[in-house]
Structures are given as structure tokens and as C-alpha cells.
Structure 1
């Protein structure tokens, strides 16, 4: 009986090939080669809300909006969902059912923090901005009533406008924002 080929390399660990051609190892993300272009490409092609929004809305566009809402840690805000470039945007309810996923996600985030020199003290500032953007974007991209939780929780939606950027536009704008923040010394 012949064995069916698998599209996942397991010689080093479970891996994927990135848009750049580099290989990303989920069990050893620190040793994996990846560039900002890989992150921008992945985030630009991943749709928020498991694709259950009115139109395609990328994680890259979301990340740009969060980085524009915060005053401090703008670079970290831009990169706050960078792991999703490799892992996808797994919905919060599903993540709660996958404890191994949370560990893998934490390792991937750590490799990204290390690679790009992210300040690890950003979590609370960005969590607040992320929730405010979440409330505003849900009101714009999801079914009516989806964002009602925000008012009940006392969260003031951020003043943002979702543009529904195409993956090509989202990638270009993400890279532009990355370079802007790097140039200004925020990165």
C-alpha cells in the first residue's frame, strides 16, 4: 500500500512555505526565516471574523487602524496581530477550545517580538485600542447588533473608517506604515 504524500514538511517540524519562499516552522519559530514582507503578505490575505463580514476586511487593515488609534506603542500596535500572518485569524471562541494553539501562538508572537525588537510592555495600551477598534469595525463590517456588547461594556468605539482594502492595497499600506514607524524611530 503506497502512502499518500502530505503537503506539510515534518522533517524539522510542521512547516509552511511563506510567500518569500522561506520555510516557517511552527515548533521552532525563532529559527525560522521570515521578513516583514511575509507578515504583510499574510495579514493582507487573512480576512477578519473568519470571513463572516460584509466584505473582505483584512487583518492588515485592522492592524493599521489600531496603530493609528494609539498614541504610544504605534509600532507594537501595527504588529500586534502579526502572528496571524502564519497562523490565520482563529476566532476567540475557537481559541478557547485549543490550548495547544494558544501555546503555539505565544511562541510565534515571541519570535516576532524578538525579530523586530518590539517592546513587550504594550499589552494594556494596545488591548484598549484594539477593543475600541473592534467595536467600531464590527458596527461597520458585521451584521446589525454585533457591536452592541461595546456600549454595554462602556467601550467607546474608535473613530475609524474601514475601507475594505484589497489584499494588494492592504499589503502596500501595511509596509508603508511599517517603514514610516521605523523611520520615525518608533520601531
Structure 2
């Protein structure tokens, strides 16, 4: 079998992604079901919650709708490819290439084109800042470097996955580019 069956019933091949089969409902449903940090956290915290925090931080910084939506979607490939922890992913060249290709397809579908270098930089800064808070609040661990400057204080209240799914869709609709 060369595909996965998505929540909405599509047969999606993550190796040869068809943009017509990418559905925001599948993304919004799957990401709240995937635990951050390979499950090595003090309480369940989803990739969906992480993406929501990133989008909220982008909005709080006054970034464009395109960057806000890009921040919301920056881990969307994980709904099709799963999450791989950073220490392992750095050695997975083919996986990273495929993930980047899938992200370009996702960004093109929802934003009209892949992210440019500056947009990637802004989203990476936000992603790293939120990761610092993830490490602090979900593991009680001090991350490397100083506490990052953020425009909002991340809220780590655990919520039902359906609530996260709904908020993900609401943010997507609010900042939708296309």
C-alpha cells in the first residue's frame, strides 16, 4: 500500500502528494492527536496546540496573514508523516527532503507558493521560542539560551482534542490567505 487513509477518507500518498487530496480538516484533526516530544512530556501536549501557539505568537507580533497561516501549518506534514524528534531527524536526510517537499506542496495549496527565506526565518524563530516554553512547562527543563522574547505568554492548559481541532480550524479561517 502506498497511501494512508485520512480522517476524511482520502487515500493520500505522502511520498507523491496530490494537493487535491490535502484537506485542512484532516490536518486540524490529526495534529491534536499527535503528542509533542515523542510523548516524553509531563502531560499530553499536541502538535496541534504547538502550532496554535506559534500562529498566535505570529499574530501577536503583527506579522502578515501569510506568516500567521504559515506558522499554523509549519508542522502540518506531520499529520501525514508523523512527528520525529529533532535529534533523530537531523540524521534522516531522505525523510527531511520528503518532509520539505510535502511542506512546499502544503504551503502552495494554502498560501499560493512555498515560504520564502524571510518567512521561513520568522516562523523558525517563533517555533524555537515556543519550543523553549515547551521544554520549560512540559519537562521542567531549562533550555539552552536565555528566555526568548515573546509577545504573548503561552497557555499550557490541557484541552480536549476536539477543542484544539476547532480552534485550529478557526485560526485557519481567520487568517486564510487563499
TM-score for the superposition, normalised by structure 2: 0.86
- The gaps in structure 2 that reach 5 residues or longer are none
Alpha-carbon shift at residue 131 of structure 1 (Å): 1.2
8 Å Cα contact 1:76/1:118 also seen in 2: no
Q: Which residue of 2 aligns with 1:111?
A: 105
Gaps of 5+ in 1: 1-8
Decide which of 124, 132, 137 is 2:134's aligned counterpart.
137
Residue 150 of structure 1 aligns to a residue in which SS? coil
Distance 2:41 2:112 in 1: 30
Structure 1 residues 171 and 127: alpha-carbon distance in aligned structure 2, compared to 1, 3 A threshold: same
Q: Which residue of 2 aligns with 1:84?
A: 78
> Which of 7, 11, 16 is residue 28 of structure 1 equivalent to?
16
Q: What is the aligned length?
A: 168
1:48 aligns with 2:36: yes
Indicate yes or no: 2:148 matched with 1:155: yes
- Structure possessing the higher radius of gyration over alpha carbons: 1
**Distance in 1 between residues matched to 2:30 and 2:121, nearest whole Å:** 25
Asked whether 1:19 is paired with 2:7, we answer yes
Question: Higher RCO, 1 or 2 (CA under 8 Å, sep at least 6)?
Answer: 2
> For 1:117 and 1:159, how far apart are their aligned partners in 2?
27
Displaced runs of 4+ in structure 1, greater than 6 A?
none
Pairwise CA distance, 1:159: 2.1
**Closer/same/farther in 2, CA of residues 26 and 129 from structure 1, 3 Å limit:** same
Separation (CA, whole Å) in 1 of partners of 2:53 and 2:100: 23
Preserved CA contact (<8 Å) 1:63 1:77? yes
Question: Partners of 2:56 and 2:157 in 1: how far apart?
Answer: 14
| Residues 1:94 and 2:82 are matched in the alignment | no
